[in-house]
Each structure stands twice: as C-alpha cells, then as structure tokens.
Amino acid sequence: MSFIQLEQVTKLFSGTQKPAVDAINLNIERGEIITLLGPSGCGKTTTLRMLAGFEQPSTGKITIGEQVVYDNSNAIPPEKRGIGMVFQDYALFPHLTIEKNVMFGLNKWKSKDRKARAREVLELVGLGDFAQRFPSEISGGQQQRVALARALAPRPHVVLMDEPFSNLDAGLREKMRYDVTNILRKANTTAIIVTHDQKDAFAVSDRVVVMKDGVIQQVASPREMYRCPKNCFVAQFVGKTNLLTGELDKDLKHVRTSIGKVCLPVALNEISDNIKVSIRPEGCQIVAAGAGNYSGHVERVTYSGEYQELYVNFQQNKTSEPMVIYAPIEENIEVGSVVSFNIKTDLVCVVE
C-alpha cells in the first residue's frame, strides 16, 4: 500500500457548477518528492489544502500512513495529520527570531528539546549562525529555508509546499530548487510541492502530476513526461513542442503529415487516419543543405542564449503554424534561408 493515497477525491465549492478537483486518484510513496503542476485554477492548491485538512473534500478518501485522514465518516483535523506546511509567502512571524519561529511548531515538546531541535533543523537548512536574527534581517532565500526548517522541525510525515519558488528571482530560484531538494532528501521526508512552473517541477521531483481543470492528465517522472507526454495538453505544457496530425502508413510506423513522413519510435497496433504526433524542437537536427529528410524556410530566428529557435515554414503548408526547431548557436542561419533537417525518432511521440 502506498504511503499517501487519494481515492476519487472531489471538491465542489458551494455555489459553483464545476468541481475544482474532480475524482482524482493518486498514490505517493514514502520519501518521494512529488509536484502538482498545472495552469492557474487547475486545482493544485485545493488538492494540497485537502491533504492538509484546511479544506474538506466533497467526496473521496485520503490516507496518510496508516491513518485515514478523510472519508465520508471521518475528518482528522490538520494538526493531527503529521503535516508540515510551507506557505507561498513563508508566513514567518516578524516579531520572533529565526530560532523562535522554528520552535513555534514544537509547543508540545519539552523546552530543552525544542531548542535542540531548532538548532538541528537550522543546521540542516544551513542557517545555524542566523538563529538570533529576525526575518527582516535575512534574504528571501534564507526566509524560505527558515519556513522549511519550521515545517520540518516536528518531524512531519509529509511536507506540503505551495509555490515555494514563486517569490524568488531567477538566479535564486535555481539555487533554491537545488537547496530545497537537498534538504528534503537529507530529512528523508515525503514532500508534495505545488507549482505552475515546469522547470521547478522537473528540477525538484521524482514524479510530476500534471493537472488541468481539476483532472489529473498524467503522472510520470520528468524524463518520461517530457519524452512521452500522454496528450496534446501535457506535451505543450511541459516544454515546447510541434503537434502534427496525419495518417498512419500501412507499415504502422510512419505518419504522413504536412511536412512529410514522420517515423514513430514504435509501430502502432492498428491503422488510423487521424494520428497526432508531438515532435520536440531539439528532436529536429539541422544537416547540410539537401541532406535531410525535411526542409523548410526560416521565418524567424530567436536567440535564447543556449541555442537558437528557428521558426520554419514548409512550402506545402504556408498557412499553418511554423515548426519550432532548436539549432546550435554556432550555426549561422539567416531568415529566409532554407534549412534541411532530420527528426530524431526518440523525441517523437503519439499523443491523444
């Protein structure tokens, strides 16, 4: 049995027509770091709040460890669920020192144990020397680590974090992704992190749960989700992609699309005339003029720093969306020129 189980969990807020969370099923293993990823309003925070016990499901069952924390006959209050929560704005007490902030969640502990535990978790998050400062005297990234230390202090079964990186600038965000994952791993905690940022999700989690309109679209490791997105929504939400529609060839392994025949990584089981394929931009490799299986006109070039994004149009489909291809920055590619390329089959995927 999994450590955390959500079974058919639904939340219909009163006065609304559509459930914010719609019959979701999710199993989480002990020690896993999971992210709930999806666009604004898809039900991420509501799911987290139901796990924490701040919101009651309309129907369904939630189990944490051995304990059924919610079903139709029973609702365990938040403080008895063994949960540590890190809020988006960190919610530190400004009038308390860092140490006292961390000790706050330990009010049932003996006073000497409280202090020792606060020291221990502050060391864990790398803030051993900051115990006597106030929240206003430390940086945003440090405040976040204090919030995490406070959540970890009572040794919760699971840590829940809502948009933990959204208040941080790009550079600090990258560092905190690394720091937070390291701290969670060292503390050996199960964690569920909410984010609407694909890079956050991919950088920190063992598995990612993509949600849309209250419904789970896919649960997979970052690598699997990127390479084999289940449907068009997931394919587009986790990175850029090109979606093409076409007819399957008799060999069941090639799809005839507007850019030409695209080879699938594995043959399909049956013939179909309406196949959707997702082709990642980095799956398209520029080759010498005329040497590739595909060629098109470069409409636009955008530099990202690490590569250049080419928007390529095909003579046959001038009216449709251009295809996005990543090319190495050292290639000198002019707008209006013709590029020839091949497609790496392992970055092609059939989607629903």
Ligand X SMILES: Nc1ncnc2c1ncn2[C@@H]1O[C@H](COP(=O)(O)OP(=O)(O)OP(=O)(O)O)[C@@H](O)[C@H]1O
Our CB check for ligand X shows the closer of 167 and 340 to be 167
- Answer for the pair 148, 182: CB distance below 8 angstroms, yes or no: no
- Answer for the pair 286, 294: CB distance below 8 angstroms, yes or no: no
- The CA-atom distances, in angstroms, between 288 and each of 97, 334, 339 are 63, 14, 8
Residues within window 150-209 making contact with ligand X, judged by CB under 6 A: 196
Smallest distance from ligand X to CB 56, Å = 12
- Footprint on this chain of Mg ion (rule: CB under 5 A): 45
Our CB check for Mg ion shows the closer of 45 and 189 to be 45
Smallest distance from Mg ion to CB 89, Å = 12
Q: How many Cβ atoms sit within 10 Å of the Cβ of residue 37? A: 28
| Tokens 């965000």 sit on residue | 173
Our CB check for ligand X shows the closer of 8 and 272 to be 8
- The CA-atom distances, in angstroms, between 64 and each of 25, 76, 247 are 14, 11, 47
Smallest distance from ligand X to CB 202, Å = 17
**Which is nearest to 125 in space by CA: 96, 90, 157?**
90
Pattern of binders to ligand X over 30-69, x per CB under 6 A?
--------x-xxxxxxx-----------------------
Interacting partner of 16 out of ligand X, Mg ion, none (Cβ under 5 to 8 A depending on kind): ligand X
Our CB check for ligand X shows the closer of 37 and 255 to be 37
Smallest distance from ligand X to CB 336, Å = 41
Smallest distance from ligand X to CB 8, Å = 17
Count of positions on this chain that bind ligand X (CB under 6 A): 12
Binding flag, residue 101, ligand X (CB under 6 A): no
Q: How many CA atoms lie within 13 A of 122 on its CB side?
A: 21
Smallest distance from ligand X to CB 38, Å = 6
- The CA-atom distances, in angstroms, between 152 and each of 102, 106, 120, 288, 315 are 9, 10, 10, 56, 59
Q: Which of 4, 6, 9, 20 binds ligand X (CB under 6 A)?
A: 20
Our CB check for Mg ion shows the closer of 45 and 218 to be 45
- Answer for the pair 35, 209: CB distance below 8 angstroms, yes or no: yes
User: Cα(270)–Cα(272) distance, rounded to whole angstroms?
Assistant: 6
Our CB check for Mg ion shows the closer of 45 and 205 to be 45
The residues that touch ligand X, with contacts defined as CB under 6 A, are: 13, 16, 20, 38, 40-46, 196
